Amino acid sequence: MSNNDVKLQTLAPDEVKKLPGEPILEAVHLKKDFPLGAVKWFGAARAVHAVEDTSLALYPGKATALVGESGSGKTTVARLLARLYEPTGGDIRFQGVHAAKGHRAVRAYRRHVQYIFQDPFSSLNPVHGVRYHLGRALRLHGYVRSADDERRQILALLERVNLTPAGQFIDKFPHQLSGGQRQRIAIARSLAVGPSVILADEPVSMLDVSIRLDVLNLLLRLKEEDALAFLFITHDIASARYFAEETLVMYAGQMVEGGPTEEVIQHPQHPYTQLLLSAAPDPDTMGHRQAAATTAVDRRDSCDGRAGRPQGASLHAGMAPPLQAEPDNPAGAASPYVRGEPPSLINPPAGCRFHPRCPYAMPVCSQRRPARTDLGNGHWTHCFLYDDGMTGSAETPLQRAVSAGTRLTTSTDNEQENR
């Protein structure tokens, strides 16, 4: 493809070596607190503990999905990695090297790590046109030799994100474009600097349903063609499955579970992951739909000879509407289904932050945070149900053996073995 040639000539990031198997971007025990308000004269300053002890690694040509509800800290993680925020603690390593501070270093870093924002209606400056947005990205990193050259490269970029005919789009302003087209411009802008890592923060959630898949497919293609490493942030676990090889689940600023996507989605281990999966809209498992309310239409339908909907084990089986069960006790004590909402991150619950909502909560859960437990196949979780590697006297020999194993190998070692 001619546009790819252009890119190789002028955009090829010189010093990036893409070795498979080695993480290109790593976050090690990242922590971020946002201080609240101005200087506090008395007592400890309050802060939002947005992200705590988060580690992850991105690999060339692979996507890692970060799944969680709003307020789970997933966007903060991405913005830390994009260096839009300074981490309070922990380390970011690009190709194994600590990402240095300072204007020059940050700009060099941004040449390799780019960010795609969620809202294409807000991430493009309304007063600037397409040419400006893409041209600035090219110029800033010194890829442009002349005005002609710039135009050629912008057109090539537009074609790469399927905005054709590119000549029609180059002089448009954001308000003249639809949501999907704007997001493509935003993607083109991040591609302009020739990055090796793309941090995509819910790149399709603001788009119309019918064009989401188009944009997702575009990102998939870029991932494969350019061996880009993706951090794919989403609240939609089904699109994580569609897009990413690896999935991490975050809850209230902490990682709770992670591993190969199929493993995590088909065999969720952490109670929160289970909750999240059971809540995801999924027409394939509509077994929970009320039998009582079956209308005449339904009955007629069930007579027709076509293959019925899957009636397999439903994740929603336990989700009896609480009101029906016990009007005065809406929580429905017997239901494994947990009501409630994520905690405030100003004073998060001690220990495992999920314990106030967890149906399996034990006393230890509120005392300290469970350590990482490896479940095999690269699947891990932070939950006392699966032992935490540091339990006291009550543990079984088997558990002790497992925990010894976790302590001996560091997390990154395990990751690499599994790959």
Partner 1 sequence: MKPVVAELSGRASTQKRTELLRVKHLNVDYETGDKPVHAVNDVSFTLHRGQILGLAGESGSGKSTLAYAITRLLHPPAVITGGEILYYPREEMAHRDAIDRVSQPDDACETDAINRVPTVDILQLSNKELRAFRWQELAIVFQSAMNALNPVMRLETQIVDVLQAHNPSMGREERRQRALELLRLVGITPDRLRSYAHELSGGMRQRAIIAIALALNPEIIIMDEPTTALDVVVQRDILVELMALRERLNFAVIFITHDLSLLLEVADQVAIMYAGRIVEEASWQQLYRHPRHPYSYGLLNSFPSLHGVKRRMSGIPGSPPDLRNVPAGCAFRPRCPFAFEECGERVPALAVPLVEEVHIGAQGLEPDGKLAGGTPATRSQQSHVACHLYSKEGVGNNE
Partner 2 sequence: MQATNLTDQQITTSTLLDRAKGRGSGMLRVITSNPKISVGMGIVVFFVLVAIAAPLLTRYDPNASVVRGSLAPSSAHIFGTTGLGQDMFAQIVYGARVSLMIGFFAAIGSTLLQIFFGLTSAYFGGLVDDVLSLIINVFLVLPGLPLAIVLASLASSADAANKNEFVLAIVLLFTSWSYGARVLRAQTLSLKEREFVAAARSTGETTLRIIFSEILPNEIALVASTFIGTFVYAVGAEVALEFLGLGDTSQASWGVILYWAQNNTALISGKWWQFVPAGLCVAVLCAGLAFINFGIDELANPRLRIERPPRRRGLPIKKKVVA
* Residues at the site binding partner 1, with contacts judged by CB under 8 A: 69-70, 178-181, 208-214, 217, 220, 235-239, 241-242, 262, 265-266, 275-286, 289-290, 292-293, 295, 297-298, 300-301, 304, 306-310, 319, 321-324, 327, 330, 339, 341-342
Residue 47 engages partner 2 in binding (rule: CB under 8 A): no
Residue 107 engages partner 2 in binding (rule: CB under 8 A): yes
Residues with Cβ within 8 Å of residue 151, at least 6 apart in sequence: 131, 170
Residue 111 engages partner 2 in binding (rule: CB under 8 A): yes
Is 271 within 8 Å of 359 (Cβ atoms)? yes
Compose the 70-99 pattern: x for residues touching partner 2 by CB under 8 A, - for all others.
Answer: ---------x--xxx---------------
The least distance separating partner 1 from the CB of residue 287, rounded to whole angstroms, comes to 11
Residue 141 interaction partner, one of partner 2, partner 1, none, beta carbon < 5-8 Å per kind: partner 2
Residue 291 interaction partner, one of partner 2, partner 1, none, beta carbon < 5-8 Å per kind: none
Give CA angle at 38 (36, 41), nearest 5°: 105
Which alpha helices (DSSP H) does 48-163 contain, by range? 74-81, 103-110, 130-140, 147-160
**Both structure tokens of 408:** 């001996």
Q: Which is nearer to partner 1, 237 or 256 (CB)?
A: 237
Q: What is the 3-state secondary structure (H, E, C) of 181-215?
A: HHHHHHHHHHHHCCCCEEEEECCCCCCCHHHHHHH
CB atoms within 10 A of CB 302: 11
Residues that contact partner 2, how many (by CB under 8 A): 31
Which alpha helices (DSSP H) does 233-342 contain, by range? 237-243, 261-266, 271-279, 296-303, 322-325
Q: Figure out which of the listed residues 17, 101, 128, 339 binds partner 2, where binding follows CB under 8 A.
A: 128
Q: Which is nearer to partner 2, 101 or 407 (CB)?
A: 101
The piece of 112-120, 213-221, 266-274, 411-419 that touches partner 2 (CB under 8 A) is: 112-120
CB atoms within 10 A of CB 379: 20
d(CA 137, CA 189): 6
Residue 140 interaction partner, one of partner 2, partner 1, none, beta carbon < 5-8 Å per kind: partner 2
Residue 305 engages partner 2 in binding (rule: CB under 8 A): no
Q: Which is nearer to partner 2, 110 or 160 (CB)?
A: 110
Residue 235 interaction partner, one of partner 1, partner 2, none, beta carbon < 5-8 Å per kind: partner 1
Which alpha helices (DSSP H) does 194-295 contain, by range? 209-226, 237-243, 261-266, 271-279
In whole angstroms, how large is the CA radius of gyration of the chain? 24
Residue 124 interaction partner, one of partner 1, partner 2, none, beta carbon < 5-8 Å per kind: partner 2
Q: Figure out which of the listed residues 44, 97, 127, 313 binds partner 2, where binding follows CB under 8 A.
A: 127
d(CA 65, CA 74): 10
The least distance separating partner 2 from the CB of residue 115, rounded to whole angstroms, comes to 4
Alpha carbon of 22 to those of 18, 81, 95, 156, 416: distances in Å? 8, 18, 8, 30, 8
Summarize as ranges the residues that interact with partner 2 (CB under 8 A): 79, 82-84, 103, 106-107, 110-111, 114-115, 117-119, 122-128, 136-137, 140-141, 173-175, 186, 189, 193
